[in-house]
Amino acid sequence: MVMRSAVARTALVVLVLVAAAACGKKTPPVARAVPPPPPPPPPASTAVPRPPAPPTPVAEPTVVPPEPVRDDSIASASLDDINRNSPLKPVFFEYDSSEIADDARGVLDANAAGLKKYPAWTVTIEGHCDERGTPEYNLALGERRAVAARAYLVSLGISADRLRTVSYGKEFPFEPGHDEAAYAKNRRAHFVITAK
């Protein structure tokens, strides 16, 4: 007990000194009385019997996953960086439709390849609409678009557990305009990587 409190006091003194040194830049150094160091602890061997030897560890070598052949910048990037230059591209839909069009299939095929390359990724598929429908019904339509994209990916062998869907209705247009060019970009399923 005595020993421990002495050690603690020393630690406290050291802390105070370190703190004083850290914030003492503006004031000139001042000689301070330093308490004497505590007496050295008595050798443990004289007071305490030696403990029994610890059990010998029995260890197997851990299997280290194979190193990537090439440095993979995507695998090492942050989620935000990945999503900023996402290899998973959005797919677009016709007006009032949640059918996967032919050109969207090609995009989803590539997205499926990306998801197979990075099997740890989980993805949220967001369904979005253009502004022409009502805000209420577009929640249903957006959901249907997200689920259509998800179903297509699942049909290509991507585990459904990795793909969540969410509908944003018409709340988050990608293009703020009010013409067909903007609408076409807003009717989309957007892929967000949420874990890697």
Partner 1 sequence: MTGTFHTMCAVGVSAGLAVVALSARPQTPARQPPASQQPAPQQPSELSTVITADAGAPPRMAVPDFIVLSNDAETVAIAQAIAQVLYDDLSFEREFALIPRDTYATIPAAKSFEDVPFARWHELNADAVLIGTVQKTGAGILVQVRLFDVRRPDGHPQAFGKEYSGSAANPRSYAHAISDEIHEKQRALHGVARTKLTFDTDRDGERMGGTIESRSIKEIYIADYDGANQRRVTTGRSLSINPRWSPDARSIAYTSYRRQFPNIFISNIYQGTLEELTKNPPAGESVLPAWSPDGTQLCFASTRDHPGNFELYVVNRDGSNLRRLTNSSGADITPTWSPSGTRIAFTSDRTGTPQIYEIGVDGLGLRKVTSESYADRPTWSPAPFNEIAFASRTGPGQDIKVMDLASGHVRQLTFGEGTNESPAWSPNGRHLTFTSTRSGKSQVFVMDRFGKNLKQITKDGNNYQPDWSK
Choose between 115 and 191: whose C-beta lies nearer to partner 1.
191
Closer to partner 1 by CB, 91 or 141: give it. Answer: 141
Half-sphere CA count of 183, side-chain side, radius 13 A: 11
Least distance (Å) between residue 1 CB and partner 1: 44
CB of 131 to partner 1, least distance (A): 8
Place of tokens 């004289």: 46
The minimum distance between CB 171 and partner 1, in angstroms, equals: 6
Intra-chain end-to-end CA distance of the chain, in Å: 50
Range 123-140 burial, b when 16+ CB lie within 10 A, else e: bbbbbbbbbebeeeebbe
Closest to partner 1 by CB, 10 or 86 = 86
The whole-angstrom separation of Cα 151 and Cα 112 is 11
Compute the least distance from the CB of residue 109 to partner 1, in Å. 21
| Residue of 141, 114, 143 lying closest to 130 (CA atoms) | 141
Contact residues: partner 1, CB under 8 A: 80, 83-84, 86, 124, 132-137, 139-141, 143-144, 146-148, 150-151, 164-168, 171-172, 174, 190, 192
